[in-house]
Structure 1
């Protein structure tokens, strides 16, 4: 999981992009092409820069003629796996209501895909991981898979990262079948994935997660030090009550 400082300024962000994101340059229409190119670099290389992508949506908001639905969908796809940061909701807040495309040759795919992407995000937020994979692999999501996430390098692994971030603090031991449904992995693929995490699978098929600060119960002893004058006041108060 990225730190807050990395979220504000990813190490992969160039000085040129930093000037567009942080300076007045992001307000100029001519810069949208640079930001869009940077987005597609993120798509191809597993990089991610939320603030740069938000700058694109802001430019679209003030300049409707620049609007590119494919860019918007790719931004939402990248934000989908940003949990626990609120990137997806930030992106949604910058989307305007748009009328259906009047060009039958180039229909706008966003109105049809936005409810689907929003539902996928909700399922991840609710930790309903098997339901996420079921919807994502359904016929309903075929267009999203074939036209967008297939181009987003490491998308499914990024979803699995979200799963792991939820599992680590919640479990010490989890059945391999259950984890398989969470990760959409089975057989050797699941074994290899668990091994890369440094986890083990026992003879009963239970995945053992190493202890961490969140999944380990630590007993604490609270000792109150009541002085004699305080005790006297308590007894006197109870007798007068």
Structure 2
């Protein structure tokens, strides 16, 4: 099974590299999207290629496939994949209710409005649950945002961001190795250069100043 899946990936990547504008590869790319969904893999390049081909062959566009691509792109946040994909989708198609919903969800994620995101997602489970791993991917994105923002964060904020409470939240915190303080109401997040600016200063101290780099360029010429 592993060898077959690897061969399939290699074949699709070759098709994209050699024939990116050949409409004959549309079925292969669509099958590859379905494979990404079922195997929980991801290929932005292949998906962008498919969306470009749909621009040239609009009558062959599968809205179901496009929805899967956009959901997978949301799962890739904080990468800007969703915007890249949306740029290739005609506005008339974006007016479809499921795409309007995904655009709203994207906005909530980009602005870190996690409570609104989870509320909207709960209303549209029929759109999102067809792609396995969606909830877990968004939770990890929420963790990423929290780690850039807080040194210590109230437990209630963590619960709202990842949409988990009670014992399940305790397990989530334990799995990430976070330290709980303040009678269990405060979560201490790992230090990084964003939530601890002094680490950024230390990192900068070890870097080469820009003016020294510019003086080196003529010597290299």
Same fold by TM (over 0.5)?
Answer: yes
| Mapping of residues 108-123 of structure 1, within 5 Å | 111-123=96-108
In structure 2, distance between residues paired with 1:70 and 1:43: 12
Contact 1:50 1:87 in 2 (8 A): yes
For residue 177 of structure 2, the aligned residue among 163, 185, 198 is: 198
The answer to whether the aligner puts 1:130 opposite 2:125 as a matched pair is: no
| Mapping of residues 139-150 of structure 1, within 5 Å | 141=124, 145-146=125-126, 148-150=127-129
For residue 66 of structure 1, the aligned residue among 57, 60, 82 is: 60
The answer to whether the aligner puts 1:181 opposite 2:160 as a matched pair is: yes
In structure 1, distance between residues paired with 2:138 and 2:108: 11
Q: 1:157 to 1:66 in 2, by over 3 A?
A: same
Contact 1:200 1:208 in 2 (8 A): yes
Contact 1:36 1:56 in 2 (8 A): yes
Contact 2:148 2:195 in 1 (8 A): yes
The answer to whether the aligner puts 1:211 opposite 2:191 as a matched pair is: yes
SS of 1:75's equivalent in the other structure is helix
Consecutive unaligned residues of structure 1, counting only runs of 5 or more, are 1-10, 100-108, 222-241
**1:84 Cα shift?**
2.5
The two structures have a TM-score, normalised by structure 1, of: 0.74
The answer to whether the aligner puts 1:56 opposite 2:50 as a matched pair is: yes
SS of 2:148's equivalent in the other structure is coil
Q: How many equivalent pairs are there?
A: 195
For residue 92 of structure 1, the aligned residue among 86, 102, 105 is: 86
The structure carrying a bigger helix percent of its residues is 2
Contact 2:151 2:191 in 1 (8 A): yes
Q: CA RMSD in A?
A: 2.2
In structure 2, distance between residues paired with 1:196 and 1:112: 37
In structure 2, distance between residues paired with 1:58 and 1:72: 11
The answer to whether the aligner puts 1:22 opposite 2:17 as a matched pair is: yes
Consecutive unaligned residues of structure 2, counting only runs of 5 or more, are 1-5, 203-221
Deviations 1:154-188 (A, max 9, x none): 10011111111111121111111111011000111
The two structures have a TM-score, normalised by structure 2, of: 0.81
**1:12 Cα shift?**
9.6
**1:69 Cα shift?**
0.6
| Mapping of residues 5-20 of structure 1, within 5 Å | 14-20=9-15
- Find the counterpart in structure 2 of residue 170 from structure 1: 149
Contact 1:73 1:110 in 2 (8 A): no
